[in-house]
Amino acid sequence: MARDSIEISETAGVRYLHFSSAWVQGAMRVQRPHALELAYTREMMAGLLLREAPWPRQALLIGLGAGSQAKFIYQQLPATRITVVEINPQVEVVARLHFKLPDDPLRLRVQIADGAAYMLGGDSLYDYILVDGFDKNARAGILDTEPFYQACRSRLSDSGLLAVNLLGRERGFQASAERIETAFDGRALIFPSCDSGNTVAFAAAGEPIDLSFDELITRANACRRETGLNLLPTIARLQIARRLADDRLRL
């Protein structure tokens, strides 16, 4: 079906969101609406390995899509308050009608606004900022600029982390990674690309992160028990790609 420029398809029990193109903007397994269906959405939650619970208290999502990450945080992290900034009001309508986005404004607030303007114009601090905003041609526009990343940095708490979805197989990916590293004075970690081509970048500006491989495994096992999210493959890929110097993750 189509609603203006938004299209929904369903295959083998998975419902997909598209913006008038073949690019998948979100997905939900109908029988598991709160699970993270796409690999990169799971990887963007790897911040749960880098900070100790209870974390995050305040999460900000730039880009709603099918609401996958908002729903996961809402379901699995009940102490977290979630703000979502989405530029297209129709995306919120579709997420509520077809992707089971919860209606609980006390914990999950959706604000229809431009993500860059929101970041540049406010002063609220967040523990976790997740940026996943693209147009129908998979372009991030101003959401992939150094001033925007600097604005993200200014909105992070002392324990804050930024996670950004980058399209790793697209031209310009390395430039995107360099913009993040510059904005955060080198405190950025680019994860190896997922099979889909999506690459996730993490950055921090406050409390340092220094975790051993064994600590990451312990935290991943605890996360899997508590939330059902399996981040062990992410740790393995980090190690294979030599992102863990001396078997430690430092950020």
The domain that holds 158 is classified in CATH as 3.40.50.150
pLDDT of residue 198: 83
Residue 127 placed within a domain: yes
pLDDT of residue 1: 35
Per the structure, the count of domains in the chain is 1
Q: Is 202 helix (H, G, I), strand (E, B) or coil?
A: strand
Residue 17 placed within a domain: no
Residue 24 placed within a domain: no
- Pick from 136, 113, 251: which is nearest to 185 by CA? 251
Contact 171, 151 (CB under 8 A): no
- Residue with tokens 């109908």, as numbered in its chain: 30
pLDDT of residue 22: 61
Residue 66 placed within a domain: yes
Say which residues have a Cβ less than 8 Å from residue 157's Cβ, sequence separation at least 6: 58, 125, 126, 127, 206
155's tokens = 């909105």
Q: Is-catalytic flag, 246?
A: no
Among 103, 114, 127, 132, the one annotated catalytic: 132
Concatenated DSSP letters of 56-95: -SEEEEE--TT-HHHHHHHHH-TT-EEEEEES-HHHHHHH
pLDDT of residue 243: 87
Contact 103, 97 (CB under 8 A): no
pLDDT of residue 172: 65
Q: Is 120 helix (H, G, I), strand (E, B) or coil?
A: helix
pLDDT of residue 24: 78
How many CB atoms are located within 10 Å of the residue 130 CB?
27
Residue 247 placed within a domain: no
How many CB atoms are located within 10 Å of the residue 129 CB?
27
β-strands 108-112, 81-86 pairing: parallel
Q: What is the pLDDT along the chain (251 residues), one digit of tens a residue?
A: 333 478 899 999 989 898 766 667 788 999 999 999 999 999 999 999 999 989 999 999 999 999 999 999 999 999 999 999 999 999 999 999 999 999 999 999 999 999 999 999 988 999 999 999 765 555 667 888 999 999 999 999 999 999 999 875 566 678 999 999 999 999 999 998 877 678 899 999 999 999 999 999 999 999 999 999 999 999 999 998 888 889 999 99
Residue 59 placed within a domain: yes
How many CB atoms are located within 10 Å of the residue 59 CB?
23
pLDDT of residue 174: 86
pLDDT of residue 79: 96
Residue 236 placed within a domain: no
158's tokens = 């002392």
Residue 10 placed within a domain: no
- Is the whole-model pTM more than 0.85? yes
88's tokens = 């297209």
Domain that holds residue 78: 39-210
